[in-house]
Amino acid sequence: MSLLKNFATVGGLTLSSRVLGFVRDSFLAAAIGTGAVADAFVVAFRLPNLFRRLFAEGAFSSAFVPLFAGKLEAEGEASAKRFAEESLSALGLALLVLTVAAELGMAALVFVLAPGFADDPAKFDLTVLLSRIAFPYLLLVSLVSLYSGVLNGLGRFAAAAFSPALLNTALIAALAAVFLLGYEGTTMAGVLLAGGITLGGVLQLGLLLFALARAGFPIALRRPRFTEGVKRLAVLAGPAVIAGGVVQINSVVGTMIASTQAGAVSWLYFADRVYQLPLGIVGIAVGVVLLPDLAKRVRAGDIASVNASQNRSMEFAMALTLPAAAALTLFALPITIGLFQRGAFTAEDSVATAAALAAFGAGLPAFVLTRVFQPAFFARENTRTPMVYSAITVAANVVISLALFPLIGYVGVAIATSAASWLNVALLYWGLRKGDLYAADARLKRTMVRVLAAVAVMVAVLYGAEYLLAPWFAAGSLQRLGALAAFVGVGGLAYAVAAIAFGAVSRSDLRRVLKRGR
């Protein structure tokens, strides 16, 4: 299967999960708004997700996938399976110890993540309670990440890409219970939602275990041992904690600073959820598919195809990311109104969330480009260089956030996150060029010019659509949803037509993707 088809597979299944995520967040906004319960739930949700993205998806996957793919390519399935089982045992033990320690020290963890909550004891105690209920999700979903890495290394992407949809399904079920029982805006709403997080982890783990069994590649639990493979994994995973988790670390820094402003944590959360849609569809698809592909090509010594693979990945990523970034930056308010403004989420919340969304949108291409550039280092088992760049990026984010927060509040946090991500991309590109590991080819340069022309056409059409749909965005909830659907549909159609007309999208590639879809 070609790289483009794998991107389409992962991106399409991720899209289904993100659509469910939008349904979830739309009901979440109506159920708990942006008050104390919402802030407590956001932190409780972010805490296991932080550790998951740092240690499981960030560090572990970045180190595990190249090693697993390398063993599969050079030594065969038996050796790769043994390495996966040794890794599972080591990861499971580490996660068990971490989960127990976190449950016992949850109050301290919450204070570090949201120090501003300490001024409101009731809010702080609720956050600790919800975090304890939700934290076992880390153990469950980290095992999911390992199983996903195995499946991706085997060239099977569907189950892992779909599994996050089960978390959203569990949370939607919890929200349904909130509405049916009349718990909107109450502490019990937070408790039910936190329980939904852990339930989602159980469902995800069950799906991946089933997928591995169907693939004929079950992973058994061994007695934990510090084998040579596990030692190499640990050496690579250490630096990758920072390198693969820079976006998450920056998000945590933002949460810590924003926790001192009432409502800011929730406004940033809802803005984050919107820009995570294109980032998830494109960035995750590129990162998941590109890393094992590059690892196998590097192991085979096919350097020319490594550069070609990166260029085609860049084409795919930017063709989908640039129009999304333009829409989120220039039209953040109508998007926010259409998605969230109902129930406990007020018009003032829409304005506040839109301001953060516009700032995040400006950094969207950088967030995705990081997923394109980092695999070139990870595939060569080099996690140290991205770690150094990421450490510089995190430091820059802290400095910019602290400088802007007194002037423009939580929006400064979003601006700092985007600015730091662009710095990370610049450093990664410089490192690749310095090591003669990447060069943009002529096809990529031509495509980028055509993509920008198509984006310009889309923006012009969207300005007209915003004017015509303004009465609908100011009407009731259903009309706002309809206006948003029309707005997105018109913009997407305008970009698609312009991209094909300008040659930004290859007709042959498009036919292959559509054929794959059928």
Q: How confident is the model at residue 1 (pLDDT cuts 50, 70, 90)?
A: very low
Residues 436 and 487 in one domain: no
Residues 205 and 167 in one domain: yes
Q: How confident is the model at residue 300 (pLDDT cuts 50, 70, 90)?
A: low
Q: What would the mean pLDDT of 155-159 be, rounded to a whole number?
A: 76
Higher pLDDT, 111 or 114: 111
Domain span at residue 58 reads 3-440
Residues 212 and 293 in one domain: yes
Q: Single out the residue of 187, 203, 259 nearest to residue 41, CA to CA.
A: 187
Look at residue 287 in the predicted model and tell me its pLDDT: 59
Tokens of 36: 């104390």
Residues 500 and 359 in one domain: no
Higher pLDDT, 346 or 263: 346
Question: Which of 395, 417, 440 marks a domain boundary?
Answer: 440
Look at residue 516 in the predicted model and tell me its pLDDT: 47
Look at residue 513 in the predicted model and tell me its pLDDT: 47
Question: Which of 440, 468, 501 marks a domain boundary?
Answer: 440
Each residue's pLDDT tens digit, 25-40: 777 777 777 678 888 8
Q: What would the mean pLDDT of 442-453 be, rounded to a whole number?
A: 92
Task: Report the distance separating Cα 393 and Cα 399, nearest Å.
Answer: 10
Q: How is 407-446 classified by DSSP, letter by letter? A: HHTHHHHHHHHHHHHHHHHHHHHHHHHHTT-----HHHHH
- Please classify residue 478 by burial: count the beta carbons closer than 10 Å to its beta carbon, then call 0-12 exposed, 13-18 middle and 19+ buried: exposed
Residues 404 and 510 in one domain: no
Q: What would the mean pLDDT of 253-282 be, rounded to a whole number?
A: 78
Residues 368 and 426 in one domain: yes
Which of 86-90, 101-105, 406-410 shows the lowest per-residue confidence on average (mean pLDDT)?
86-90
- Continuous segment of H or E residues that includes residue 182: none
Task: Report the distance separating Cα 35 and Cα 344, nearest Å.
Answer: 9
Look at residue 490 in the predicted model and tell me its pLDDT: 95
Q: How confident is the model at residue 517 (pLDDT cuts 50, 70, 90)?
A: very low
Residues 206 and 147 in one domain: yes
Backbone angles phi, psi at 280, to 5 degrees: -70, -45
Q: What would the mean pLDDT of 228-236 be, rounded to a whole number?
A: 77
Look at residue 463 in the predicted model and tell me its pLDDT: 96
CA geometry: angle 462, 465, 470, nearest 5 deg: 125
Q: How is 336-402 classified by DSSP, letter by letter? A: HHHHH-STT--HHHHHHHHHHHHHHHHHHHHHHHHHHHHHHHHTTT--HHHHHHHHHHHHHHHHHHH
Helices 106-113 & 77-104 angle (0-180, nearest 10): 90
C-alpha dist (Å) from residue 34 to 130, 178, 333, 436, 454: 16, 16, 17, 48, 37
Question: Which of 440, 456, 486 marks a domain boundary?
Answer: 440
Q: What would the mean pLDDT of 218-222 be, rounded to a whole number?
A: 81
pTM above 0.75, yes or no: no
Residue 225 has pLDDT above 70, yes or no: yes
Which of 303-307, 334-338, 354-358 shows the lowest per-residue confidence on average (mean pLDDT)?
303-307
Residues 432 and 468 in one domain: no
Residues 427 and 510 in one domain: no
Tokens of 297: 């090509």
Residues 284 and 337 in one domain: yes
C-alpha dist (Å) from residue 254 to 41, 102, 165, 194, 362: 16, 21, 26, 22, 16
Residues 471 and 382 in one domain: no
Considering only the C-alpha atoms of the chain, give the largest distance between any 2 of them, rounded to a whole number of Å.
65
Look at residue 514 in the predicted model and tell me its pLDDT: 46
Each residue's pLDDT tens digit, 480-507: 889 999 999 999 999 999 999 998 876 6
Structural domain count, the chain: 2
Residues 281 and 305 in one domain: yes
Task: Report the distance separating Cα 459 and Cα 240, nearest Å.
Answer: 38
Residue 56 has pLDDT above 60, yes or no: no
Higher pLDDT, 371 or 501: 501
